[in-house]
Amino acid sequence: MTLGVALAALPAAALDWDPRLTDQMGVYWVNADPPPGTWYWRLVSGVYEDENQSGGNHNIYYKCLDQYGSPIENQACWAAYPTGSPTNFVTIYTKGSLDGYWGDFPMAGGWCPPWPEGGHGPYGAGAGNHDDPNNYTDEVWGMGMPCNWHVNYRYVWQWTQASADQPTIERTPSQISQTVPQGQDAASQTYQVRNSGSGTLNYTISDDRAWMWSVPSSGTSTGEWDTIPLVYDTDSLSAGQHTGTITISDPQATNTPQYIQVTLTVQAAAQTPPGFYKAGWNMTSVPVEPTNPEATMVFQDLVDLGNVITNNLYRYETGVGYESYSSDFVNIEQGRGYWLWLSTVTDQTVVSVSGQAASGTVALTLDLGWNLIGHPFNSAVTLSQCTIYNPSAGSKTLAQARTAGWIDMPLYYWGGSYQRCGLDPWDAASWLAAWRGYWLHSRLSGLELRVPAP
C-alpha cells in the first residue's frame, strides 16, 4: 500500500469527500493498491462532523456497501488506536437498518494544539478483517479529538474489483523492406515492441515464412522498448518479390494481434550462356549494377577456375587510353566495356553476377572519339530502338545521328576478331547483346547513347 496524494487533494477513490477532513483536521489516507482484478474495499465517502454537528458524540462511523451499492450488515471493519505499542487494532462491525447500517468506534482523549500547529490525530480506520493478508482496503488516518473536541468522522467503503491491467501492443515500424542479391542471405534487421498500456505485456512473435524469423520469439514489457532482431535465410529464394507477416500477440492485450508486413526483393543474378567466355581476349560488360562491384568479386566464377584478373582486365578512358585493374581502377560498372584476358575456361563455364538490374532507359555518356561501352541489360536490344541524345539538338535515331555527323557506324564487338554491329544488311549483328562490350565512335562530346529496357 502506498501513501495517498497530498493532503489538500481529494482521495482518488472517494466519491464524496468533506474537504474539512484534510483542510482542518489533517486527515490523510493510504491507498489499497490491490493487484489488478482483485476485490477490495474502496473508500467512497468521508464526512467530518464538528462539535455543532456531532450531537455530543466522538466516534468513527463505518458503513460498507456491496458491489451493487447496497449496505452490508455485520461487516467487519477495524479501528487503530494508540494505546500500547505497537498500535492496537480492534474489530468493528457494521449494524443493521435501525442504525442506518453504521458501525461505530468511540474515541477517547485528545491533543493540543490541533493540526496543523500540532500533529495528526492518532486513530486510523479501514474496512474488512485487518488480520487477513488478502484483505485490501483504503485506509484513513489522522483522526482524533483535538483539544478534546467532541467530533465525528463518517466513512463509507464499497466492495470493488480493481481494474485489470490493460496492456497494449505498440510496434515500430509497421512495414519492413529488404533487398538481397539472389543466392545470398539478406542482412538482419530490427524492429521494436513495447507495452503502451498498463500492467505487463507478455507477447509472443510468430512469422509466416520459413525465410525469416524473430529472435527472441517472445518477451515482456512494462513500457520499455524491446529491440527484436529479424533474421533472414534467403539464399535459396527465387528472384522476385516475396512477402511475409510478423504477428505480435498477447491474449490480454487490448489490440491483439498486431502485424508487421515484410517485403523482400530478391535481385536476379545475371548469368552468361555456357561457354560465353573464351580463352584469350574477351570484350565484355555486365548487365547489372553489381552488388559487390570489386572486379574479382564480379568475376569470381572465373577466378575460381584459376584465372588472374590483376593486370588482365582493362577499361578505356576516351582521351586517356587504357587503364588496368587494379592499379587504375577496382570496380566494375554497368554500361562500361572491358577487355578481359582469360587463361582457363571451358565450353560449360557460366558466370553469374548478382546486382540491381536497370528498370528503364539507360543513358551512356559518349565523349569525343572512341568509347568502350557495355550493353546495360540482360536481354538484347536492337539498335533501331536506341537513340542518340544531343543536349543542343535533342534526340535522333542512330541512323539519323550518323547522317547528322554525330556518330560513326557501325559499332564493333569482339568475337575472336572484330565484328560489325550496325544498321546495314552486311553487318554481323543489328542488336546489343548481354555481356558484350562495344566500340562506338562519337564525333561530338557530351552525347548520350540511350538504350531502352528490353
Other CB atoms closer than 10 Å to residue 347's CB: what's the count?
Answer: 8
User: Has residue 140 got a pLDDT over 60?
Assistant: yes
More confident residue, 14 or 2: 14
| The predicted structure's pLDDT at residue 165 | 82
Note the pLDDT tens digit of each residue in 334-354: 999 999 999 999 999 999 998
More confident residue, 235 or 407: 407
User: Has residue 107 got a pLDDT over 90?
Assistant: yes
Contact by Cβ (8 Å): 141, 30: yes
Other CB atoms closer than 10 Å to residue 6's CB: what's the count?
Answer: 8
| The predicted structure's pLDDT at residue 85 | 56
Note the pLDDT tens digit of each residue in 230-261: 999 999 998 889 999 999 999 999 999 999 99
| Chain-centroid distance, C-alpha 411 | 52
| The predicted structure's pLDDT at residue 15 | 61
User: Has residue 411 got a pLDDT over 70?
Assistant: yes
pLDDT tier at 135 (50, 70, 90 boundaries)?
very high
User: Has residue 9 got a pLDDT over 70?
Assistant: no
Note the pLDDT tens digit of each residue in 22-41: 999 999 989 898 988 899 99
Within a 13 Å sphere around the CA of 345, how many CA atoms are in the beta-carbon half?
A: 25
Q: Is 21 helix (H, G, I), strand (E, B) or coil?
A: helix
Length of the chain equals: 454
pLDDT tier at 163 (50, 70, 90 boundaries)?
confident
Transcribe 393-445 into DSSP letters. Answer: TEEEEHHHHHHTTSEEEEEEEESSSEEEESSSTTSSBSEE-TTBEEEEEESSS
User: Has residue 119 got a pLDDT over 90?
Assistant: no
More confident residue, 116 or 274: 274
User: What's the grid cell of residue 149?
Assistant: 473536541
pLDDT tier at 71 (50, 70, 90 boundaries)?
very high
336 vs 214: CA distance, rounded Å: 41
pTM value surpassing 0.75: no
Domain 169-267 has CATH 2.70.70.10: no
60 vs 41: CA distance, rounded Å: 17
pLDDT tier at 221 (50, 70, 90 boundaries)?
very high
| The predicted structure's pLDDT at residue 84 | 53
Note the pLDDT tens digit of each residue in 352-381: 998 888 889 999 999 999 999 999 999 999
pLDDT tier at 86 (50, 70, 90 boundaries)?
low
Position of cell 488516518?
A: 141
| The predicted structure's pLDDT at residue 13 | 43
What number is the average pLDDT over the span 211-219? Answer: 96
**Where exactly are the structural domains of the chain?**
2-161, 169-267, 271-451
346 vs 359: CA distance, rounded Å: 32
Contact by Cβ (8 Å): 48, 20: yes
Q: E-strand spans in 66-115?
A: 76-81, 88-93, 103-106
Note the pLDDT tens digit of each residue in 278-300: 999 999 999 999 989 999 999 99
Note the pLDDT tens digit of each residue in 169-205: 999 999 999 988 888 899 999 999 999 998 899 999 9
Specify the DSSP class assigned to residue 287: S
User: Has residue 118 got a pLDDT over 90?
Assistant: no
Note the pLDDT tens digit of each residue in 300-335: 999 999 999 999 999 999 989 999 999 999 999 999
- Percent of the chain with pLDDT strictly greater than 90: 82
User: Has residue 2 got a pLDDT over 50?
Assistant: no
Q: Which long-range contacts (CB under 8 A, 24 or more apart) does 2-7 make?
A: 2/30, 2/31, 2/33, 3/28, 3/30, 3/31, 4/28, 4/29, 4/30, 4/31
| The predicted structure's pLDDT at residue 14 | 45
What number is the average pLDDT over the span 50-76? Answer: 96
| The predicted structure's pLDDT at residue 180 | 87
